[in-house]
Amino acid sequence: MNFKIINAEEKHIEEIGILFDLYRQFYKYESNLIESTNYIKDRINNNESIIFIAISDANEAIGFVQLYETFGSLDLGKIVILYDLYVKEDHRKNNIGRKLMIKSHEYAKKINAKRIQLSTATDNYIGQSLYESLGYVKDDNFYTYDFEIK
């Protein structure tokens, strides 16, 4: 399968909104296409994230990755948080996720980031396999904690 990876722009908001809603459903969140699309719209319009989108030869959006730039105090520099990676189910096993990850690596190098950080579900074995095949190392030294703001 042939596809290209491009930097998402305002004209891609609706397509990414659909993919983002599917991504959220993958993680057991209720479908909400309007809120998902608005979230993506805000990120793109406010330049708050970098989104790369995979487009098939049929001009169909088939996957995306969303990156956030921040800083790591211990790293003494910029780090990239890879927060969202999704490929439509019927397009998996075509190296789309891998290519989106590699595009993320290229972006991180371009902005002189020190590293890319990501989290995934403990039962996302396919994702873990992809990350580890690209050289990502599971952190056994730190725990992740969340505090929900109500």
Give the pLDDT confidence of 27-77 residue by residue, as tens digits: 999 999 999 999 999 999 999 999 999 999 999 999 999 999 999 999 999
Asked whether the predicted pLDDT for residue 144 surpasses 90, the reply is: no
* Separation CA 44–CA 41 (nearest Å): 5
- With CA atoms as reference, report the closest residue to 62 among 31, 90, 34: 90
Q: Can you give the pLDDT at residue 1?
A: 75
Domains and CATH numbers, the chain: 3-133 (3.40.630.30)
Residue 58 CA from chain centroid, whole number: 22
pLDDT confidence tier of residue 102, bands split at 50, 70 and 90? very high
**Pair 146, 109: CB distance under 8 Å:** no
Asked whether the predicted pLDDT for residue 112 surpasses 80, the reply is: yes
- With CA atoms as reference, report the closest residue to 105 among 65, 54, 47: 65
